[in-house]
Amino acid sequence: MNLFKTAEKAHKGDHFDLDAALDAIKFNANGLVPAIAQQYDSGEVLMMAWMNPESIRETLATGRVCYWSRSRQQYWRKGESSGQIQQLKEMRIDCDGDTLLLLVDQTGPACHTGRKSCFYNIIRNDQMEIGSDPLIDPDTLYGGK
């Protein structure tokens, strides 16, 4: 039986082998799994990006979040160009093993626009409203043009 199916019936505090759990994660047709990043203390959802098996293992080994960039088709060590890194506080896996939740400590903004969170487009009063301004000018973050 799939490890996550077995875990469904397990009790709080029960343990499973980590390698077996990581091997049981269900990756999509592109070999990726979605990872939600949440600021560990405030609870703010910062962003969603994608991981492959190697980026998951690197993130657990280094404590610094590494995604897989679909647009650039390469490892994306969050903050490597902007300096706005994510320290991993805890990684969680969902009930069916196909989504990750990363509790992180985000240095500065998570969003490439310079905003704290990527989820600043709010549907309100039958319109889409901008919910926040950048903390830092993105031209400063990425060295400008």
The footprint of a copy of itself (CB under 8 A) covers 4, 7-8, 10-18, 21, 34, 36, 38, 42-45, 47-48, 60, 90-97, 99, 101, 111-113, 115, 118-124, 126-133
Measured from the CB of residue 27, what is the shortest distance to a copy of itself in angstroms?
15
Taking the least distance from each CB to a copy of itself, the nearer of 75 and 119 is: 119
Taking the least distance from each CB to a copy of itself, the nearer of 80 and 96 is: 96
In DSSP terms, which residues pair with 104 in a beta bridge?
Answer: 39, 88
Taking the least distance from each CB to a copy of itself, the nearer of 33 and 77 is: 33
CA distance 49 to 19: 22
CA distance 108 to 103: 15
Cα 145 to Cα 63, 89, 139, 141, distances in angstroms? 32, 34, 7, 11
